[in-house]
Amino acid sequence: MIVAIDFDHPIERENTCSVKFDVRKAVFGRDDVIPVWVADMDFAAPEGVTAALTARAEHPVYGYTVFPDTLYQSLMDWFATRHSWAIEKDWILMAPGVVPSLHAACMAYAQPGEGVIIQPPVYPPFFSSVNLSGRTVIENPLIRDPESGQYRMNLEHLEQCAARSDARMLMFCSPHNPVGRVWSETELKAVLDIARKHQLVVITDEIHCDLVYPDKPAHTMLASLARPDDALVTAVAPSKSFNMPGLGLSALVISDPERRRAIKAVFDSMHLPQCNPFSVTGFEAGYRKGGEWLDQLMVYLQANRDYVVQQVADRLPGISVSAPEGTYLMWLDCRGLRLDDAGLRRFFVQKAGVGMNPGITFGAPGSGFMRLNIGCPRAVLEQVLGRIEAALA
């Protein structure tokens, strides 16, 4: 029997060492902002995940742990069923998270000083993983339609970037964080064609692949369109899908043995990953027991998304937003407020008491935007929008 999940139920997260809640003072200068920034949700994880973790905790020895075959099988089954993507066990390399995987990919597939293409506005670790590893950022900015607010790739410019003699990699985000695009098969095939032509390694961050709205086109895994000889690394994890990013376990799917060995050597050089018994348990439980929870989540998030779109249009002059196709993140266009990025941050933090991610942290094309996390009870969004409306008044 399917049990309806109460996503409206508030859960107290303060004093749980939560980044989203417990470092507000350090990040925003005050601890009373409503936190709608960090990309985790304020919902309880699927009951099956909590039950599995509780059962594991009841065994009182938390020793060194291996990755069991059932872990790999859970991932293979999920992607075969949900995404029509057949994965072989030998292709899977467990990793300590998608962000560490981005850093490791730069070190494995590009030499110091060589170029890595990214598509801003994009998740900030795309920049830092390239810069901190001593590689060179090559920017291929997305293009925003001024009428619809939707983004598309500049494929002509991407080809120019790929043709550079120093270009070695493309870091691809699908669905895209923060703009919420779910790329079409036509767009994905174009990316693969360009990468193939110019011998780029593509690492595709598909951590949000399960978070696509019921009224939008389904997500297509880039690897499901690839040829066997394409240089492709796919990063996936259950962490966003089932709201357990703190467990810190992800997977890389790499069909080519040499490319798999190259990134494994980077992890091995740092003795990563150290296998955590709770990460293993949560990972497998999410993929095995989280499906119904996820389906209900996306219906709830769609209602939240549509509520925000309507309320912003009706109540917040100077701000606009379009409905994302995927993720639980919304990209607010605040350029109508005519504030610079520092002023925009002051307005939302000091006047409105709302803690969001400044768009400028996603690269120069994010200037004038803010990222809003709608993975919270509706009552929280009502407070957020009410505070912003009062501040505008």
| CATH number of the domain enclosing 24 | 3.90.1150.10
Closest CA to 368 of 149, 130, 174: 149
Q: Report pTM.
A: 0.97
Same domain, 307 and 181: no
pLDDT value at residue 115? 98
Are 195 and 128 found together in one domain? yes
Q: How far is CA 327 from CA 124, 178, 180, 207, 240, in A?
A: 16, 8, 6, 10, 9
Let me know whether 184 and 156 are in one domain: yes
pLDDT tens-digit profile, the chain (393 residues): 678 999 999 999 999 999 999 999 999 999 999 999 999 999 999 999 999 999 999 999 999 999 999 999 999 999 999 999 999 999 999 999 999 999 999 999 999 999 999 999 999 999 999 999 999 999 999 999 999 999 999 999 999 999 999 999 999 999 999 999 999 999 999 999 999 999 999 999 999 999 999 999 999 999 999 999 999 999 999 999 999 999 999 999 999 999 999 999 999 999 987 789 999 999 999 999 999 999 999 999 999 999 999 999 999 999 999 999 999 999 999 999 999 999 999 999 999 999 999 999 999 999 999 999 999 999 999 999 999 999 999
Distance CA 319, CA 338 (A): 10
Measuring CA to CA, which residue among 188, 111, 103 is closest to residue 152?
188
Whether residue 24 sits in one domain with residue 105: no
Same domain assignment for residues 295 and 148: no
Q: Residues 146, 181: contact at Cβ < 8 Å?
A: no
Residue 296 and residue 209: Cα distance in Å, rounded?
Answer: 16
369 forms beta bridges with: 333
Domain interval for residue 213: 62-289
Q: Which two tokens stand for residue 43?
A: 């919902």
CA 141-145-147 angle, 5° bins = 160
On whether residue 382 sits in a domain, the answer given is yes
Identify the pLDDT of residue 176.
Answer: 98
- Cβ-proximal residues to 393 (8 Å cutoff; 6+ apart), any chain: none
* Backbone region of residue 199 per phi and psi (left: phi > 0; alpha: psi in -120 to 50; beta: other values): left
pLDDT of residue 275: 86
The values of phi and psi at residue 157, to 5°, are: -70, -35
> β-strands 369-373, 357-358: how paired?
antiparallel
CATH number at residue 213: 3.40.640.10
CA distance 146 to 3: 42
* Residue 300 shares a structural domain with residue 225: no
Place of tokens 């990460």: 279
Side-chain half-sphere exposure of 9, counting CA atoms within 13 A: 8
Any domain includes 168: yes
- Domain match, 202 and 216 both: yes
- Domain edge (last residue) among 289, 304, 336: 289
- Specify whether 95 is located in the same domain as 204: yes
Look at the chain and report how many structural domains it folds into.
Answer: 2
Same domain, 219 and 362: no
Are residues 279 and 232 located together in one domain of the fold? yes
Could you tell me if 123 and 219 lie in one domain? yes
